Chain A
Amino acid sequence: MFCEKAMELVRELHRAPEGQLPAFNEDGLRQVLEEMKALYEQNQSDVNEAKSGGRGDLIPTIKFRHCSLLRNRRCTVAYLYDRLLRIRALRWEYGSVLPNALRFHMSAEEMEWFNHYKKSLATYMRSLGGDEGLDITQDMKPPKSLYIEHFLPRWKCEQLIRQGILEHVLS
Chain B
Amino acid sequence: MAEELDLMGQDSDGGSEEVVLTPAELIERLEQAWMNEKFAPELLESKCEIVECVMEQLEHMLSTVTKHEIPVNIWISASHEQSKNMSSLAPHFFRRATDRSREENLRRARKGDLKVSIHRMEMERIRYVLSSYLRCRLTKIEKFFPHVLEKEKTRREGESSSLSPEEFAFAKEYMANTETYLKNVALKHMPPNLQKVDLLRSVPKPDLDSYVFLRVKERQENILVEPETDEQRDYVIDLEEGSQHLIRYKTIAPLVASGAVQLI
Contacts and interface: CB of A to CB of B under 8 A. Distances in A.
Q: Kindly name the residue among A33, A139, A146 whose own CB sees the greatest number of chain B CB atoms within 10 A.
A: A139
A81 B170 contact: no
- Chain A binding surface, main DSSP class: helix
Interface in B41-78: 51-52, 55-56, 58-59, 72, 74-78
Interface string A101-130: 000000101101100110011011001111
B117 interface: yes
A134 B30 CA distance: 16
A15 interface: no
B12 interface: no
B1 interface: no
Interface stretch (B128-136, B238-246, B252-260): B128-136
Contact of A128 (B55, B77, B121): B55
A152 B124 CA distance: 14
B134 A134 contact: yes
A97 to B, nearest CB: 10
Contact of A151 (B59, B76, B128, B184): B76
Nearest to A167: B77
A84 B182 CA distance: 10
Contact of B55 (A76, A88, A130, A153): A130
Contacts of B85: 160, 165
A136 interface: yes
Contacts of B82: 165
A155 interface: yes
B76 A152 contact: yes
A40 interface: yes
Given A130-B59, A156-B89, A33 B131 contact: no
Contacts of B184: 109
Nearest to A37: B191
A13 interface: no
B186 A124 contact: no
Contact of A139 (B52, B132, B174, B177): B132
A102 B248 CA distance: 41
B181 A143 contact: no
Nearest to A117: B177
Contacts of B77: 167, 169
B134 A33 contact: no
A59 interface: no
Given A143-B128, A151-B72, A69 B173 contact: no
B190 A33 contact: yes
Contact of B194 (A73, A121, A146, A166): A73
Contacts of B191: 36-37, 40, 69
Given A36-B194, A165-B85, A134 B130 contact: yes
B162 to A, nearest CB: 15
A109 B185 contact: yes
Contacts of A120: 170, 173-174, 177
B166 A127 contact: yes
Contacts of A124: 138, 166-167, 169-170
Contacts of B59: 129-130
Given A136-B130, A143-B121, 18 more contacts: A40-B191, A69-B194, A70-B194, A73-B197, A80-B182, A80-B186, A81-B178, A117-B177, A128-B51, A129-B55, A134-B127, A142-B125, A143-B128, A151-B72, A152-B93, A153-B120, A165-B86, A169-B77
* Closest 9 A/B residue pairs (Cβ): A129-B55, A40-B191, A143-B124, A127-B166, A136-B131, A120-B173, A139-B131, A116-B177, A124-B170
7 contacts: A29-B186, A36-B194, A120-B174, A135-B131, A143-B125, A146-B124, A166-B86
Interface of A: 29, 33, 36-37, 40, 69-70, 73, 76-77, 80-81, 84, 88, 107, 109-110, 112-113, 116-117, 120-121, 123-124, 127-130, 134-136, 138-143, 146, 150-157, 160, 165-167, 169
